[in-house]
């Protein structure tokens, strides 16, 4: 399911983003004269074949856009050599020149495919003009659109309670139409433990798998409110066309129940689009606003985030899921403190930075996840990671233009496929003397109570077909048994849980499992066979811990010590049973350790890209979600590979 969605996305991305692949120094006739745009189209970019880690629903409007093979007006071939000029619009969609010129002549100043507003449009030269190309243009300039009685300056309201009304989706929603509950599976580290021995760190793997999207249901996922907080400072000028394409990608993949608002920031911040429904005029207005963006000024990330959070806090109505997407290529130039690089983050509200709560008590206020995307090599990766880490989002390091579409596809595909809310696991001891010692769960909150007899792990929201693994470590006591008697099915723990329906928010009990082992006096060879699933998760936890340690060492300037620790961890990893068995996750962990070592070879390399690379990986491990980083699309922790292997 996820693989087919990826293939569709690749096809649509090729037509939408083909202009991005031409090198900057590749000059053509149309480069010298930007108004002459009838040259051969640039080659399509190479898109990674890595599959999605989610079974996301992609917008049908995205996949139904016309491809460059046919003119969207006459539906005839756009092949060269057929005696017709081909016009490539500023939004990158191609048409026969005569077709689009006639279309514009009747007053249609929008692209027939994506409905973008054109500033430069084609027109037919008068017959008495011998050669219009000699005058240097095949276009006529059209004044910028201005609605009747509209103010030329964008004026914000004092209170952001002007969000568009959410469509009523309650009709037709019944208990029979709700998605299935999540699935919980368990695996013990060994099938048996000798009755005469105790085990102080026995691992139990608890695997949680979300159901797929059921597109046959009228309301099969949670609708979402998204605020994009976009950097339009002067340094973004060369990346602005990329930024516009990226946000337009988001617009195309939101549904008619989703809402989007746009906030921009440079030296100050502005909300340039209120929360609007992403269908009809709402989407058209959003496209027009995005296409009108310009870059100038400094970088005030804090102002942008504060305004973005106001949009969510002051809205009149609430979709059940809300999130912020932050894109920036630089450091905060307005609030930056040279003595403490992250000091300025203390001014962020607790709804996105909970540790700023002065009382020290856990806030009852909801936290809005912020998914951060750092462009290029000059962005403040430490701040971007801290913001995403505190709020429950992910941090992606966009080092190369070639991976941008994959990064946004991962994020938006997940946010638009939430099928389970507020998921919580419960673990309870099932035998006297069996104690829960630890439940390492990354950034997911966990709690052990009742003297080690019970534990909980708060997983939160799950995307369609998303899978997460957790290790529960137990203390198992000696068990008295007479003679050669073999005690069958000795219970260790009971695992259960609950979730909330993604649309109705009704609580659903999750069917759990009882973990059992045998306690013989003597272990047989089969009793001593290690569960490789448990082993590879131990490896992931150890690698995650090592990455965090080496990142701290690198910040203190101890790159030599960090290199040694990474080499030691790599040797340990390769000696494990799951690595020697060739598990994909272990192969990914090996590649991650090697790449981290490479980016920590010198201080210059670490400052250049190493810090961002490591922090993005730590973000991925912490939430068990893929995060884009570097020049390639590494599957940090192998999340996508795990999906293909387990299904």
Contact predicate 548/440, CB 8 Å: no
What count of Cα atoms within 13 Å lies in the side-chain half-sphere of residue 352? 33
The confidence score (pLDDT) of residue 238 equals 84
Instruction: Find tokens 């027109």 and name the residue.
Output: 123
What is the band of 17 on the pLDDT scale with cuts at 50, 70, 90? very low
Using CA atoms, how far apart are residues 612 and 629, in angstroms rounded to an integer?
Answer: 8
Element (H, E) at 98: helix 97-105
Taking only the tens place, the pLDDT of each residue in 218-265 is 567 889 999 999 999 998 888 888 888 888 888 988 989 999 999 999
Cα angle: 422, vertex 428, 429; to 5 degrees = 165
The CA distances from residue 434 to 164, 441, 478, 480, 517, in Å, are 54, 20, 10, 14, 12
Looking at the chain, the whole-number percentage of residues with pLDDT higher than 70 is 71
Closest alpha carbon to 416 in 229, 223, 280, 627: 223
Q: Residue 60: helix, strand or coil by DSSP?
A: helix
Using CA atoms, how far apart are residues 550 and 553, in angstroms rounded to an integer?
Answer: 5
Closest alpha carbon to 24 in 37, 40, 10, 42: 42
Q: Residue 382: helix, strand or coil by DSSP?
A: helix
The confidence score (pLDDT) of residue 263 equals 97
Q: How many residues does the chain have?
A: 647
For the residues 349-365, what does the mean pLDDT come to?
A: 69
Classify strands 224-231 and 259-265 as parallel, antiparallel or unpaired. Answer: parallel
Q: Tell me which DSSP letter residue 126 carries.
A: P
Q: Determine if residue 592 is left, alpha or beta; phi over 0 gives left, psi from -120 to 50 gives alpha, anything else beta.
A: alpha
Using CA atoms, how far apart are residues 462 and 424, in angstroms rounded to an integer?
Answer: 11
Gyration radius (Cα) of the chain, Å: 28
By the 10 Å C-beta count (0-12 exposed, 13-18 middle, 19+ buried), 406 is classed as: buried
Average confidence score pLDDT of the chain: 78
Closest alpha carbon to 495 in 451, 447, 430, 568: 430
Taking only the tens place, the pLDDT of each residue in 89-145 is 766 677 777 777 766 655 566 777 776 766 555 544 333 333 323 333 333 333 333
Secondary structure percentages of the chain, helix, strand, coil, to 5: 35, 20, 45
Q: Of the given ranges (94-103, 294-303, 446-455, 503-512), which has the lowest mean pLDDT?
A: 94-103
Q: Of the given ranges (120-124, 189-193, 469-473, 543-547), which has the lowest mean pLDDT?
A: 120-124
Q: Residue 338: helix, strand or coil by DSSP?
A: coil
What is the band of 339 on the pLDDT scale with cuts at 50, 70, 90? low
Using CA atoms, how far apart are residues 229 and 476, in angstroms rounded to an integer?
Answer: 51
Instruction: Compute how many other C-beta atoms are within 10 angstroms of the C-beta atom of residue 567.
Output: 13
Greater model confidence, 34 or 237: 237
What count of Cα atoms within 13 Å lies in the side-chain half-sphere of residue 263? 29
Taking only the tens place, the pLDDT of each residue in 583-635 is 999 999 999 999 999 999 999 999 999 999 999 999 999 999 988 876 554 44
The confidence score (pLDDT) of residue 600 equals 96
Q: Residue 171: helix, strand or coil by DSSP?
A: coil
Q: Of the given ranges (323-332, 470-479, 556-565, 594-603), which has the lowest mean pLDDT?
A: 323-332
The b-or-e profile of 37-68 (16+ CB within 10 A means b, else e) is beeebbebbebeebbbbbbbbbbeebeeebeb
The confidence score (pLDDT) of residue 408 equals 79
Looking at the chain, the whole-number percentage of residues with pLDDT higher than 90 is 48
The confidence score (pLDDT) of residue 249 equals 85
Whether residue 464 has pLDDT greater than 80 = yes
Q: Is the dihedral of CA 523, 529, 533, 537 positive or negative?
A: positive
Classify strands 467-476 and 199-209 as parallel, antiparallel or unpaired. Answer: antiparallel
Taking only the tens place, the pLDDT of each residue in 515-537 is 999 998 889 999 999 999 999 99
As a dihedral over the C-alpha atoms of residue 571, residue 577, residue 582, residue 585, rounded to 10 degrees, the angle is -80
Instruction: Find tokens 């008068």 and name the residue.
Output: 126
- Sheet of 395-398: strand order equals 269-277, 259-265, 224-231, 321-328, 370-375, 395-398
Instruction: Compute how many other C-beta atoms are within 10 angstroms of the C-beta atom of residue 168.
Output: 7
Q: Residue 485: helix, strand or coil by DSSP?
A: coil
Chain centroid to CA 378: 21
For the residues 487-498, what does the mean pLDDT come to?
A: 88
For the residues 172-195, what does the mean pLDDT come to?
A: 78
Taking only the tens place, the pLDDT of each residue in 399-441 is 876 677 678 778 888 999 999 999 999 999 999 999 999 999 9
Whether residue 545 has pLDDT greater than 90 = yes
158 CB-near residues (< 8 Å, 6+ apart): none
The confidence score (pLDDT) of residue 68 equals 45
The confidence score (pLDDT) of residue 218 equals 58
What is the band of 276 on the pLDDT scale with cuts at 50, 70, 90? very high
Q: Determine if residue 107 is left, alpha or beta; phi over 0 gives left, psi from -120 to 50 gives alpha, anything else beta.
A: left
Classify strands 259-265 and 370-375 as parallel, antiparallel or unpaired. Answer: unpaired
The confidence score (pLDDT) of residue 470 equals 97
339 φ/ψ angles, rounded to the nearest 5 degrees: -80, -30
Q: Which two tokens stand for residue 361?
A: 């008590």
The confidence score (pLDDT) of residue 293 equals 94
435 φ/ψ angles, rounded to the nearest 5 degrees: -120, 145
105 φ/ψ angles, rounded to the nearest 5 degrees: -60, -30
The confidence score (pLDDT) of residue 96 equals 75
The confidence score (pLDDT) of residue 543 equals 97
The confidence score (pLDDT) of residue 444 equals 95
Greater model confidence, 289 or 107: 289
Contact predicate 391/368, CB 8 Å: yes
Taking only the tens place, the pLDDT of each residue in 148-157 is 333 334 578 8
Chain centroid to CA 508: 26
Whether residue 446 has pLDDT greater than 60 = yes
């Amino acid at each position: 399911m996820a693989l087919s969605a990826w293939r569709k996305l690749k096809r649509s991305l090729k037509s939408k983003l083909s202009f991005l692949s031409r090198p900057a120094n590749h000059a053509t006739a149309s480069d010298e004269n930007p108004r002459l745009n009838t040259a051969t189209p640039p080659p399509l970019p190479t898109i990674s074949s890595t599959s999605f880690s989610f079974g996301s629903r992609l917008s049908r409007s995205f996949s139904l856009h016309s491809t460059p093979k046919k003119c969207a007006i006459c539906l005839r071939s756009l092949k060269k050599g057929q005696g017709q000029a081909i016009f490539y619009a500023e939004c990158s969609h191609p048409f026969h020149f005569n077709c689009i010129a006639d279309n514009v002549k009747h007053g249609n100043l929008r692209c027939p495919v994506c409905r973008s507003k054109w500033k430069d449009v084609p027109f037919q030269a008068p017959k008495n003009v011998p050669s219009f190309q000699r005058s240097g243009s095949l276009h006529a300039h059209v004044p910028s659109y201005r609605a009747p009685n509209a103010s030329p300056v964008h004026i914000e309201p004092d209170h952001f309670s002007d969000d568009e009304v959410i469509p009523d989706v309650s009709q037709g929603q019944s208990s029979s139409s709700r998605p299935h509950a999540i699935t919980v599976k368990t695996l013990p580290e060994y099938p048996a433990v000798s009755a005469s021995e105790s085990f102080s760190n026995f691992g139990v793997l608890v695997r949680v798998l979300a159901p797929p999207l059921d597109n046959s249901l009228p309301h099969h996922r949670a609708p979402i409110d998204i605020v994009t907080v976009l950097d339009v400072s002067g340094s973004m000028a060369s990346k602005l066309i990329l930024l516009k394409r990226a946000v337009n990608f988001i617009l195309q993949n939101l549904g008619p129940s989703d809402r989007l608002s746009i906030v921009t920031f440079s030296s100050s911040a502005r909300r340039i689009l209120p929360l609007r429904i992403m269908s009809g005029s709402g989407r058209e207005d959003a496209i027009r606003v995005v296409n009108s963006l310009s870059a100038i000024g400094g970088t005030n990330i804090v102002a942008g985030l504060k305004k973005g959070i106001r949009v969510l806090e002051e809205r009149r109505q609430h979709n059940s899921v809300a999130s912020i997407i932050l894109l920036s290529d630089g450091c905060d130039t307005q609030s930056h403190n040279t003595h403490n690089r992250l000091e300025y983050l203390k001014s962020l509200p607790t709804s996105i930075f909970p540790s700023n709560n002065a009382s020290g008590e856990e806030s009852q206020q909801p936290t809005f996840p912020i998914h951060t995307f750092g462009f290029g090599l000059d962005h403040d990766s430490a701040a971007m990671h801290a913001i995403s880490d505190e709020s429950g989002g992910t941090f992606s390091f966009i080092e190369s233009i070639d991976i941008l579409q994959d990064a946004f596809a991962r994020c938006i595909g997940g946010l638009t496929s939430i099928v389970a809310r507020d998921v919580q696991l419960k673990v309870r001891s099932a035998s006297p003397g069996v104690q829960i010692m630890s439940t390492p769960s990354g950034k997911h909150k966990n709690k052990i109570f009742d003297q080690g007899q019970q534990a909980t792990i708060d997983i939160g929201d799950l995307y369609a077909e998303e899978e997460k693994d957790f290790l529960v470590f137990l203390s198992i006591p000696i068990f008295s048994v007479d003679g050669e008697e073999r005690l069958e099915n000795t219970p260790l723990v009971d695992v259960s849980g609950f979730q909330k329906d993604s649309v109705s928010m009704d609580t659903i009990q999750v069917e759990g499992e009882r973990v059992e082992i045998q306690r013989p006096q003597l272990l047989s060879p089969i009793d001593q066979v290690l569960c490789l699933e448990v082993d590879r998760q131990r490896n992931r936890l150890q690698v995650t811990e090592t990455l965090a340690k080496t990142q701290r060492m690198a910040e203190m300037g101890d790159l030599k010590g960090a290199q040694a620790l990474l080499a030691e961890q790599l040797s340990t990893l390769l000696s494990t049973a799951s690595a020697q068995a060739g598990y994909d996750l272990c192969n990914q962990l090996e590649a991650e350790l090697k790449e981290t070592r490479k980016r920590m070879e010198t201080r210059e390399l670490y400052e250049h890209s190493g810090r961002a690379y490591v922090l993005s990986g730590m973000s991925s491990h912490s939430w068990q979600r893929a995060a884009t980083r570097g020049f390639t699309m590494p599957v940090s922790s192998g999340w996508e590979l795990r999906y293909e292997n387990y299904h």
